[in-house]
Amino acid sequence: MAGEDLASIVDEAARAGGAGGAGGASSVDRVDRGRGVMLGLAVGNALGVQAEFWDADEIAAAHPNGLREIDPAEHLHPWDDDLAQAALLAEAMLAGDGRMNCEDLARRLTAWFDGNGRGIGNLTYRIVESWKRGVPAADAARRAWEETHPRAAGNGAVMRCAPVAVRWQRQGAVLVEESARSCLVTHFDPRCVMSSVALNVAIAAALGGATVDLERLARAIPEETHDEGQTADAIRAAAGETLEAMQLDREPGSGYTLLAMKVGLWAATRATDLEESLVRVVSLGGDTDTNGAVAGAALGARFGARAIPARWIERLRDPQRLIELADGLTAPS
């Protein structure tokens, strides 16, 4: 029942958006917003990667007006893990007509790992090594979680999940299912799964020109997810907390999936613009590249690619590829 409620939030937002009715998103807007998700994720990741795990005071000392510019050399580097894995997920979805094949995504992640694996997190590193030893994709993440629970609730899946929302923004049941599957390839913890689902529900609503009701979203989280209400509580907190109150630079939470989700929900529901909001997120420190990626995807869905400063996009490596992926995911009606 609760899963159906999550799906209905997406479906109602899609119906409200329609073909561009009052408050909705036109087909042109849908394309721009889809591009906004991929490019927003990319610029947020690139903006934040240069200060990963700095605290807010360190960033303020180095950047008194906020961390506002992407390193000019970023376009020379391979994509960081947040963006690289989101792009691999998009490619896997497009290869399967929108339905991701777990073994296929595992192969793509392994090839990326062997090629450069820039920024790969500890848990994903462990999972890929398991795959390379012959552990099936369906089993590796579960085994790792059983060995490390309750610590294994990192943000390495919520950071990459946004392409699912672009593809399935109008089909809530599939969005919920595919968001969960995209997570379970590497992150089995129920908090990781439900944070990815919740973020994608909010992004899907934004893609349709709507704003998700966070209290309703919290009530829709299935009780049987065995996270002891932590995801629902974090969603409710996101409805009232300021970014500063989230203490993004405080361990042990800075790499925590529910904290990244809260940042994304804030961006999807409460931010008033794209540029200044993204600067604000990364300037608060902590896991700045992932918080930037999650916030950037949500902000891109809400405000569109046209709101992203051109100077940021110009410093990305292969932004045209991201546009192609976004358009491929957005194309289905």
| Least confident window among 19-33, 45-59, 65-79 | 19-33
Q: Which two tokens stand for residue 295?
A: 């916030």
| pLDDT tens for each residue of 92-131 | 999 988 899 999 999 999 999 999 999 999 999 999 999 9
SS3 labels along 33-95? HHHHHHHHHHHHHHHHHCCCCCEHHHHHHHCCCCCCCCCHHHHHCCCCHHHHHHHHHHHHHHH
CA–CA separation, 156 vs 269, rounded Å? 22
pTM: 0.95
Q: Which two tokens stand for residue 196?
A: 């990815």
Orientation of helix 27-49 relative to helix 275-283, angle to 10° = 30
For residue 330, which of 12, 9, 39 has the smallest C-alpha distance? 39
Domain parsing of the chain, residue ranges: 2-330
Residue 44 CA from chain centroid, whole number: 11
Residue 225 CA from chain centroid, whole number: 20
Number of Cβ atoms within 10 Å of the Cβ of 150: 11
Percent of the chain with pLDDT over 90: 85
pLDDT of residue 223: 80
Q: Which two tokens stand for residue 27?
A: 């087909």
End-to-end CA, the chain: 26
| pLDDT band for position 332 (cuts 50, 70, 90) | low
Q: Are 175 and 200 in contact (CB under 8 A)?
A: yes
| pLDDT tens for each residue of 297-330 | 999 999 999 999 999 999 999 999 999 999 999 9
Q: Which two tokens stand for residue 40?
A: 């927003």
Task: Please list the alpha-helical segments (H only) found in 221-309.
Answer: 230-240, 257-269, 275-283, 288-303
User: Please, how many CA atoms are within 13 Å of residue 303, restricted to the half-sphere of its CB?
Assistant: 25
| Fold that domain 2-330 belongs to in CATH | ADP-ribosylglycohydrolase fold (1.10.4080)
| Position 272, amino acid | T
Percent of the chain with pLDDT over 70: 95
pLDDT of residue 18: 58
Residue 240 burial (10 A CB sphere; 0-12, 13-18, 19+): exposed
